């Protein structure tokens, strides 16, 4: 249609009136890629993901220290450190999301999304590694050694499960941010 209006302007001069809609449609083209997918920063589903990350990670952070012997195992100390970092990150992003929703501000900025993606990637990797390591130890103690009388197996399992749940909530955040970053380029 653009080709037509450009190659025969003198034959069909009235077509020029159709110009503005074409021009308006053109710059809108790339913006279609950046439409709000639920779960991205600044959307209600994104806020729900952040809140669930924070809740699970705080539960893990509260349950693990109730087993007073956890510092004797490196993997459990690492789990506490990783979910501690994750809780700070998720709390910050929750606040950013609430702010963005309240003032109806769009967080669709390439630099902001890059920052969120890198942060999500690092914290989710650390949390997942910590949860896996803790799961390895928990299974070793409860299944391989059958030594749950002397150890707080249930609490170890709960803390590990909460860390995994938080990873299940942070992965979609990471993937959606990465997706929206790739769509922007």
Do residues 120 and 167 touch, judged by C-beta distance below 8 A? no
70 is a site residue for a copy of itself (CB under 8 A): no
21 is a site residue for a copy of itself (CB under 8 A): no
Long-range contacts of 63-69 (CB under 8 A, 24+ apart): 63/155, 63/158, 63/159, 63/162, 64/155, 64/156, 64/159, 66/152, 66/155, 67/152, 67/155, 67/156, 69/151, 69/152
Q: How far apart are CA 16 and CA 9, in angstroms?
A: 7
**Residue span binding a copy of itself (CB under 8 A) among the ranges 17-25, 56-64, 84-92, 104-112:** 17-25
Sign for the CA dihedral angle at 68, 73, 76, 77 comes to positive
Do residues 58 and 87 touch, judged by C-beta distance below 8 A? yes
Do residues 170 and 120 touch, judged by C-beta distance below 8 A? yes
Considering only residues 133, 159, 161, 170, which one is a binding residue for a copy of itself as defined by CB under 8 A?
Answer: 133
Q: How far is CA 159 from CA 21, 68, 122, 125, in A?
A: 57, 13, 20, 17
7 is a site residue for a copy of itself (CB under 8 A): yes
Q: Which is nearer to a copy of itself, 107 or 130 (CB)?
A: 130
Q: Which is nearer to a copy of itself, 102 or 146 (CB)?
A: 146
Q: How far apart are CA 182 and CA 185, in angstroms?
A: 6
134 is a site residue for a copy of itself (CB under 8 A): yes
Q: Which is nearer to a copy of itself, 94 or 174 (CB)?
A: 174
80 is a site residue for a copy of itself (CB under 8 A): no
**Residue span binding a copy of itself (CB under 8 A) among the ranges 44-52, 57-65, 135-143, 146-154:** 135-143
Considering only residues 1, 21, 22, 147, which one is a binding residue for a copy of itself as defined by CB under 8 A?
Answer: 22
Q: Which is nearer to a copy of itself, 94 or 137 (CB)?
A: 137
Residues at the contact surface with a copy of itself, assessed by CB under 8 A = 2-3, 5-7, 9-10, 16, 19, 22-23, 26, 33, 72-75, 125, 128-130, 132-137, 139-140, 143-144, 175, 178-180, 182-183, 185
């Amino acid at each position: 249609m653009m080709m037509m209006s450009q190659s025969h302007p003198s034959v069909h001069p009235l077509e020029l009136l159709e110009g503005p809609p074409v021009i308006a449609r053109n710059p809108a083209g790339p913006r279609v890629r950046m439409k709000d997918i639920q779960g991205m920063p600044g959307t209600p589903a994104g806020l729900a993901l952040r809140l669930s990350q924070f809740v699970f990670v705080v539960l893990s952070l509260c349950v693990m220290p109730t087993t007073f012997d956890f510092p004797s195992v490196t993997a459990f100390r690492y789990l506490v450190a990783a979910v501690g970092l994750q809780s700070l990150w998720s709390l910050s992003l929750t606040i950013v999301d609430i702010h963005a929703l309240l003032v109806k501000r769009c967080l669709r900025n390439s630099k902001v999304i890059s920052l969120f993606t890198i942060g999500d990637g690092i914290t989710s990797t650390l949390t997942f590694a910590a949860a896996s390591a803790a799961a390895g130890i928990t299974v070793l103690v409860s299944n391989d050694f059958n030594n749950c009388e002397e150890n707080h197996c249930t609490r170890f399992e709960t803390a590990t499960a909460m860390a995994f749940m938080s990873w299940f909530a942070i992965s979609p955040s990471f993937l959606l941010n990465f997706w929206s970053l790739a769509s922007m380029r």
